Amino acid sequence: MTLSVLIGLSAVMVAIDDGNPLVLITTRETGEDALPFGPFDPERHRTFDLSLRGWVREQTGFELGYVEQLYTFGDKDRDTPEATLTDAPPAARVISVGYLALMPDAAPTGAAFEARWQGWYRYFPWEDHRNGRPSMIDGELAPHLYTWAAGNPKRLDRARIAFGLDGARWVEERVLERYELLYEAGLVAECARDAGLSKPAVTLGAPMASDHHRILATALSRLRGKIKYRPVVFELLTERFTLSSLQRAVEGILGLSLHTQNFRRALDKTGLVEGTGRLETGTGGRPAELYAFRRDYVRGIAAPGLATPRKTPD
């Protein structure tokens, strides 16, 4: 028996709206939230990138700008029916290549498209620490994790490190590690679904179709880490922005509150932005100067990312 392999492309399309990170979501026939997803046809598509841009345009109406490949997801029994082609056998193995796409604004998709923007903390509510450590971590998550880890020191260490329990430091980049730990502990709905069990009494975060929750967690981990060593956050901003809106965007991505003075002091040293001499208008408050990303300047250097000094220890 020859096993057929199909290749699908998943897009994590991220935008920022007033400091809040959003991800573009579609809805499966089952009612589950899903990432935009399309098949790669080697006869029609010269490259993965061109294929991705083409069907994203068709499905959502958006033209992609900044795109980078995330990871290849090939676990057996992935539930991705949209990856099938017309003449594909039903038992084909589906491989999905995930992509991260950064959008400068969360423009409406229009009535012709079913996709919609959704706050990404809907799927990872334990990740948003902008207003302090979420009470659900110690009130709901920790008791279940301690029960799951009882008598198993390795499990307990993983839980402590991942979720900052027992005084451990919260590390924002460990989004994927935290999601996979919750999956193992049976605290996300996908675990029961994949095992063919009824929905557990306790689930955290909105569920997603197939392994899209894991793909989204991978994208969050990548973006949270990358903004610290590459200036990719500017791909999420309009051409002109205030320093406050830049800081809110970084805080939204990291799920943390930053120390404003230290953030701006470090930003000045990078040379990444320059004032335009223009002021923001129509806000009702004190006008703030508009800045621009020095795109031409960074093309000739190994451009740094942004320092992210926390406002208070988490």
Among 120, 142, 169, the domain boundary falls at 120
| Within-domain flag for 222 | no
CATH of the domain at 279: 1.10.10.10
The answer to whether residue 12 scores a pLDDT higher than 80 is yes
Q: Are residues 178 and 242 in the same domain?
A: no
Residue 219 resides in a domain: no
Answer whether residue 224 is part of any domain.
no
Mark whether 69 and 90 lie in a shared domain: yes
pLDDT (tens digit per residue) in 225-282:
999 999 999 999 999 999 999 999 999 999 999 999 999 999 999 999 999 999 987 6
Out of 37-46, 61-70, 161-170, the most confident range is 161-170
| Number of structural domains in the chain | 3
CATH code of the domain covering residue 115: 3.90.79.10
The answer to pTM > 0.85 is yes
DSSP assignment of the chain: -PPPEEEEEEEEEEEEETTEEEEEEEE-TTS-EE--EEE--TTT-SSHHHHHHHHHHHHH-PPP-EEEEEEEE--TT---GGG--TT--TT-EEEEEEEEEE-SS-----TT---EEEEGGGT-GGG--BTBS-HHIIIIIHHHHHHHHTT-HHHHHHHHHHHTGGGPPP-TTTHHHHHHHHHHTT-SHHHHHHHTPPPPS---S--BSTTHHHHHHHHHHHHHHHTTTS-GGGGGS-SSB-HHHHHHHHHHHHTS-B-HHHHHHHHHHHT-EEEEEEE--SSSS---EEEEE-HHHHTTTT-------BSS--
Confidence of residue 198 (pLDDT cuts 50, 70, 90): confident
**Residue 112's pLDDT band (cuts 50, 70, 90):** low
310 domain-assigned: no
54 and 94 inside one domain: yes
Residues 71 and 136 in one domain: no
Q: Where in the sequence is the domain holding 194, given as residue range(s)?
A: 125-205
* In a shared domain, residues 23 and 106: yes
Residue 11: predicted pLDDT: 93
